[in-house]
Structure 1
Amino acid sequence: MSRRRHRTGSAQFEAVVLVTAVVLAGSGAYAAIGRSMANDVEGSAHGHAPHSHARSSHAPSIAAQASLVSRVSEFARSVRRTEGLTRDARAARSTAEGLVRGNDFITWRGLHTASESGGSYADKLGQAFMAQLESLGPHGHWIDMGTGEGKAVTEFLDAFGTTPGAAPDVTAIAFDDPHLNYLRATFTNFREFHGKFVESIPASDVRPADLISDLYGPLSYTHAFDTVLQRYADILRPGGKAYAYLGKSLSLRTPGAPALVRSGSELAGALDRAIHGMRVEALQAPKRQVLLAFTKTEQRVRVPSLPIESFLASKPPKRTFVLGDAVSASVH
């Protein structure tokens, strides 16, 4: 619903711009006619041919109007390109939740099996993640945020075959029910949450984790990046890691910086300096996508407020968050 309202607003805004342009163009035309009539009168008074003056005075006016129409058309195209752009935090939240509730994204990614569009957990999250996952013993705990249909956790637990007791605890979190009855019946150390956003699940309900995976999960869709990241930090044990594959969905605006921070290394650097108690690293990802690793280094982690500046509805949405003045001294 929020997207529909926004599209309507964009259309109305575009219409206002076009009407304004027409009015301005009309005003310019009337002014040109007035100047032409004045030239005609002046030409007649001096015995000159009026029509040549009229033609010469109309030419620049027509060119100016054509230039104005061209600029307005380009602006209208820009409005259409960004009709999903939301700058109001409440509207961004509504749009973000609408995308998740609509379940309009890839939900079938395996640990080693790629989805139809390509990319398994091993492909996207990399060897460092896979090595840490495989090193978890029966006392370890992996949480898969945004598990979709649970293909990755199913592949992982199935690998333990007849020795399910050797598997670490595994928790799958998804908004829609992933229908993992088989895992619930087979593995007593498997748990899942669905029907809620991760930030609304009390941290006390989730056992402390050694490893969190977020492959185009909550951190790629949320309007409240700081809240979700703080929840991850609260759930992780000291020394635990969260791997977040964000693609190109995230950018930051830092005080005094002329351009947005978008690359993995720049994002990691800005967040690493701003977050207390957590180390942030950029890992190698295909096609210049963003893959970040968050390591909990202290018991208490403080993620600064990151108010949302813009939200462009897509899969995943493109969002810009602002590192405020309170952390600007540590960022620069």
Structure 2
Amino acid sequence: MTAVRISGLCALALLVSQAVFAPATHAASAGAALSQEELTKQRRIYQSRGSETPSGYVIDRALALYADALAADFDRSLAALGPAERWLDIGAGEGNAVLEYCTTRAEAPNAKLEASGERARVVAISIEDRRTPRWHETASALGAGQIEYLYGKTLREYSAQELGHFKLITDVMGGFSYSTEISSFMEKALSLLEVDGSFFTVLADVHSESGGNRPHYPDSAYLTEIRAADGAEVKVCAWLKRISCVQVTCGFKSDWTPPIEAYQIRKTCDDVRVPALVPLRYQAGTPPERAFRLRDPASPPSDAPVAETASR
């Protein structure tokens, strides 16, 4: 399944976080085991090159696409960053958005950014090294510490000491859209966010906060679904709003194909607690189709390892 922008822009979607998988097994309490076959298919998508790369696998998205896809406050938050502050871009691909932010005022998504002066320091994360000659040339010209590109590990494999903390975090159809463990992914991302900082992310084809949309693909589920222990639906926006110490805004964008819901998650204090989710289904795709269930608070987490999808 491939998302295509109605305006003709190359799909934000399906931009992809690259992934590394551990063996996927679950205790009975975790529901049906994730399909090893589907995880293998997904890994092949991440490792594809050249003509074998699915059309939805995009690694060269521009900063203007970030501004179009993410919540309305993204461009203001980016423009407001000072030179001593930091931005983490999860699933950065070639890092074009980072390069444009640091160097090309003419391509700034709006006048606020164009006039904002000195740039913040930026860390781009990818599971594979997607840097281009342009990245290396720009990094050298900007000097040490202005932009950094980390690769080869999943987000959860980095320690807080390695990454530090950030005023702004973005994930444009990266790890949040592809991970088999979105509650753990969210927990890690928010641990890296400074108080009063914001995490901007997006999901394609989910049941929106207002509830007015149906699944985009005929005879299919939403691409990301959450159920309570009794089987009742829990919308992604509602689940995010159950996280402690955050303020969440959700915005549905019907002019994307499939439609997307953009999230701004502002951290208000350090005692962040993310409601744990058990993965139930994972069907390979760009992005994959996933289902989760809220873990019963009385049930201990499974000791069995679960396949983990990394941020690209």
Quick check: TM above 0.5? yes
Answer whether contact 1:304 1:327 (CA < 8 A) is retained: no
Between the aligned partners of 2:240 and 2:280, the Cα distance in structure 1 is: 17
| Residue 267 (structure 1) aligns with | 236
Between the aligned partners of 1:198 and 1:154, the Cα distance in structure 2 is: 21
**Alpha-carbon deviation of 1:87?**
4.5
SS at match of 1:178: coil
Q: Deviations over 1:45-87 (max 9, x none)?
A: xxxxxxxxxxxxxxxxxxxxxxxxxxxxxxxxxxxxxxxxx94
SS at match of 2:297: helix
Q: Deviations over 1:154-185 (max 9, x none)?
A: 11111369x99921011111122122212321
**Structure 1 306/93 Cα, relative in aligned 2: closer, same or farther at 3 Å?**
farther
SS at match of 1:130: helix
Matched, 1:139 2:84: yes
| Residue 300 (structure 1) aligns with | 271
**Alpha-carbon deviation of 1:255?**
2.7
**Alpha-carbon deviation of 1:313?**
0.9
**What is the one-letter code of the residue matched to 1:321?**
F
Matched, 1:216 2:173: yes
**Seq. identity, %:** 25
| Residue 107 (structure 1) aligns with | 59
Query: 1:18-57 to 2 correspondence within 5 Å?
Result: none
Between the aligned partners of 1:94 and 1:199, the Cα distance in structure 2 is: 21
Matched, 1:316 2:284: no
| Residue 229 (structure 2) aligns with | 255
**Structure 1 127/278 Cα, relative in aligned 2: closer, same or farther at 3 Å?**
closer
Q: Deviations over 1:190-217 (max 9, x none)?
A: 1110122212122221121011111110
Higher relative contact order (CA 8 A, sep 6+): 2
**What is the one-letter code of the residue matched to 2:253?**
A
Query: 1:129-208 to 2 correspondence within 5 Å?
Result: 129-159=74-104, 166-179=118-131, 180-187=135-142, 188=144, 189-208=146-165
| Residue 283 (structure 1) aligns with | 251
Task: Give the structure with higher Rg (CA).
Answer: 1
- CA RMSD in angstroms comes to 2.7
Between the aligned partners of 2:168 and 2:298, the Cα distance in structure 1 is: 28
**Alpha-carbon deviation of 1:94?**
5.2
Between the aligned partners of 1:131 and 1:282, the Cα distance in structure 2 is: 17
Q: Deviations over 1:296-323 (max 9, x none)?
A: 1211312232110111111000111111
Between the aligned partners of 1:227 and 1:95, the Cα distance in structure 2 is: 23
Answer whether contact 1:93 1:222 (CA < 8 A) is retained: no
Query: 1:12-91 to 2 correspondence within 5 Å?
Result: 87-89=32-34, 91=36
Answer whether contact 2:83 2:119 (CA < 8 A) is retained: yes
**Structure 1 223/237 Cα, relative in aligned 2: closer, same or farther at 3 Å?**
same
The structure that is helix-richer by fraction is 1
SS at match of 2:72: helix
TM-score by length of 2: 0.66
Between the aligned partners of 1:237 and 1:225, the Cα distance in structure 2 is: 20
| Residue 202 (structure 2) aligns with | 245
Gaps of 5+ in 1: 1-85, 113-119
SS at match of 1:232: helix
Gaps of 5+ in 2: 1-30, 107-114, 206-222, 300-312
Q: Deviations over 1:95-141 (max 9, x none)?
A: 554443447511011012xxxxxxx1111114311111011111221
Between the aligned partners of 2:185 and 2:34, the Cα distance in structure 1 is: 15
Answer whether contact 1:96 1:221 (CA < 8 A) is retained: no
TM-score by length of 1: 0.63
**Structure 1 323/292 Cα, relative in aligned 2: closer, same or farther at 3 Å?**
same
User: What number of residue pairs does the alignment pair up?
Assistant: 229
Q: Deviations over 1:278-309 (max 9, x none)?
A: 23321242344121222212113122321101
**Structure 1 206/217 Cα, relative in aligned 2: closer, same or farther at 3 Å?**
same
**Alpha-carbon deviation of 1:257?**
4.6
**Structure 1 159/327 Cα, relative in aligned 2: closer, same or farther at 3 Å?**
farther
**What is the one-letter code of the residue matched to 1:147?**
A
Answer whether contact 1:239 1:297 (CA < 8 A) is retained: yes
Q: Deviations over 1:132-153 (max 9, x none)?
A: 1011111221111101111111
Answer whether contact 1:238 1:296 (CA < 8 A) is retained: yes
